[in-house]
Amino acid sequence: MNTIAPSLIAASAAIVLLLGLTHLVYTFYGPKLLPRDRELQMRMQEVSPVITRQTTMWKAWVGFNASHSYGAILFGAVYGYLALLHSAFLFQSTFLLLLGLLLLFGYVFLAKRYWFRVPLAGILLATLLYGLALVISWA
């Protein structure tokens, strides 16, 4: 098998993995994901969502950020591993290839609509590399 396509998917996965790890660190350490308004954070620590009183908006915020990070880390780790160590299996699985592409497109949508420039640029680059790998492998 050509080594270019697996390398491109591995590079794509590495970008997503790095974004996920960075986001996880920012979730638990430092001020990057804290609201600029300290009163807002205090209110979030007091108020529960409508769905349940067993948590607060702040705990949900932290949990959502952490689980979001885990998803990116999982994608990066699994697709990087498959691309580098089991590329024949990965490239024979239309399901896995399309699933990865769908996830990246979903991240592009979220990044464009809800995030900011740095993650959008990273996820666009990851998607471009992944798509290029598919074009090369299917050509």
- Domain boundaries along the sequence of the chain: 4-138
Which amino acid makes up residue 60? A
User: C-alpha 17: how far from its chain's center?
Assistant: 7
Rounded distance between C-alpha atoms, residue 120 and residue 21, angstroms: 16
- Residue with token string 């497109």: 105
Q: Which of the four pLDDT bands, split at 50, 70 and 90, describes residue 29?
A: very high
Q: What is the pLDDT of residues 110-123, one digit of tens each?
A: 999 999 999 999 99
Q: What is the pLDDT of residue 1?
A: 60
Quote the mean pLDDT of the chain: 96
Q: What is the pLDDT of residue 68?
A: 95
Contact 22, 122 (CB under 8 A): no
Q: What is the pLDDT of residue 25?
A: 97
Q: What is the pLDDT of residues 69-108, one digit of tens each?
A: 999 999 999 999 999 999 999 999 999 999 999 999 999 9
Please count the other Cβ atoms lying within 10 Å of the Cβ belonging to residue 16. 28
Rounded distance between C-alpha atoms, residue 106 and residue 72, angstroms: 12
Rounded distance between C-alpha atoms, residue 18 and residue 76, angstroms: 8
